[in-house]
Amino acid sequence: MPERAVKWPARDREPTPAVVTEPVVRPLPPQASVMRSTIPRAFLLVVAAASLASAQMPGAGSEMPGRTLGFGVVYAHDSWDQYWEGTLKRSNGNIGTLTTQSVTFVGEYAITDRLGVAATLPYIWTEASQGTLRGQHGVQDLSVAFGYRLLTGKPSQLGVLTASVGAAAALPVSNYTPDFMPLSIGTAGRRASAGLTLNFQSSSIWFVNASSAYTWCSNVKLDRSSYFTDGRLYMTNEVAMPNGLDGALTAGVAHGRWRLPFTLMQHRTLGGADIRRQDMPFVSDRMDFTRLDGAVLVALTKDLSMRVGGARVLSGRNVGQSTTFSSGLHYAFRF
C-alpha cells in the first residue's frame, strides 16, 4: 500500500554531519523526458541515457542509402503516479500524477551507405496534477549522433549479421534549471556517448539486435551556492554528474511495409545516493530502470513512414513507474 503523502522538507534545514567544498562524483539521472532516437539501420542505434519517457524516430530499421536526407517529428506523452524512493514504491500527494509531454524534431543524413549523422531537438513540458508545484517547459538539449557500419557478414541460409559503432553528444540550448526534480525538463549538462550495435536479419521475417552505450557527463551548476545530498552539505554550486551505462535487446518482425520491434532496455548509473525519505529528488540522485518498448512502423508511401508506440517502466530505483505513448512521422528523399 503506497504511503500517504507528506510535505517535502527544505533541504537546507537538514542536519549536516559533514561539509565539503568540492563536488563528488554522482550518477547521471534520467531527464524528465528522455528522447531516445532509433536511427536507421545504416546508422548506429545510439541508446541514450535513461529517462522517464521515451520517443523513437519513425522509420526505425529502414535502410537509408547514401545521400539521403530525412526529417521527422515525434510526439510523446509520459505519465506516472507512483515512483520508487530508493527501493520503496510509493505515491505522493504533492505530485499526484506527473505528466511529461514532448515534441521532438529529428533530422538525419546518410552520407554514404555506411556512414550517417542525425540530430534531435525536443521541446518538453511537465505538469503535476496535485499540490502547488508548477510545471516547467522549454527547449531541452540538442543531440547529434554519428553512426558507422563496420561490417556486414556474408549472407547465409539463416540470415545476415551486421555490426555498427557510433558516437553522440548533447548540450543544453536553453537556460532551464535542473534543480527542480521531478518537474525539471532535463539535467542541463553536456554529455557524450559511444556504443556498439549488433544486428541479425534472418532470411525470413524476424530480426534481433543488441546494443550497448556508455555515456560521459559534465558537471552541472545550480542557482544556489550550496546544496545538501547523500548526508553532506556541499559549499559549491557545482554538481558532478558521473557516467551511465545503457543496454538494449530488440526483437521483432518485418514484412513488406510493416515493422514491429519490441525492445527491453536497461539503464544503470554508476553509484549515487537514493532519494531521502520524504524528500524531493535531487539532480544527482541514483536513477536506474528497466523498460519495455513496443512499436508499429509502416511505410505510408515510398518516402513517408509513420510510427506509433508505447513503453512501460517495469522496475526502477528513484524513478517513476511511467507509461509512455508516442507517435511520429518521417520523410526521406534522395539527392
Position 322 scores a pLDDT of 97
Which of helix, strand or coil describes residue 60?
Answer: coil
> Quick one: which H or E segment has residue 126?
strand 115-128
Question: DSSP assignment, residue 318?
Answer: S
pLDDT band at 23 (very low <50, low <70, confident <90, very high): very low
pLDDT band at 57 (very low <50, low <70, confident <90, very high): very low
Alpha-carbon distance of 42 to 2, in angstroms, equals 46
> Quick one: which H or E segment has residue 64?
none
Give the CA distances from residue 58 to residues 6, 308, 310, in Å, rounded to whole numbers and listed in that order: 42, 8, 13
Mean pLDDT over 37-43 rounds to: 32
Contacts of 204 by beta carbon, 8 Å cutoff, 6+ apart: 159
Q: Is the peptide bond before 182 cis (omega within 30 degrees of 0)?
A: yes
Q: Which cell is 316 given?
A: 526502477
Give 199-249 pLDDT, tens digit per residue: 999 999 999 999 999 999 999 999 999 999 888 899 999 999 989 999 999
pLDDT band at 277 (very low <50, low <70, confident <90, very high): confident
% the chain with pLDDT above 90: 72
Neighbours of 50 (CB within 10 A): 30
Mean pLDDT over 140-150 rounds to: 94
Position 66 scores a pLDDT of 85
Residue 82 φ then ψ, to 5°: -135, 150
pTM of the model: 0.83
Mean pLDDT over 168-175 rounds to: 96
pLDDT band at 278 (very low <50, low <70, confident <90, very high): confident
Whether the pLDDT of residue 28 is over 80: the answer is no
Position 63 scores a pLDDT of 57
% the chain with pLDDT above 70: 81
Position 142 scores a pLDDT of 97
Position 300 scores a pLDDT of 96
pLDDT band at 68 (very low <50, low <70, confident <90, very high): very high
More confident residue, 49 or 269: 269
Alpha helices in the chain (DSSP H): none
CATH architecture of 11-329: Beta Barrel (2.40)
The residue written with cell numbers 547523500 in the block is: 230
Across 13-17, 243-247, 280-284, least confident range: 13-17
For residues 80, 11, 217, 240, the Cα torsion angle rounded to the nearest 10 degrees is -160
pLDDT band at 18 (very low <50, low <70, confident <90, very high): very low
Give 95-144 pLDDT, tens digit per residue: 999 999 999 999 999 999 899 999 999 999 999 999 999 999 999 999 99
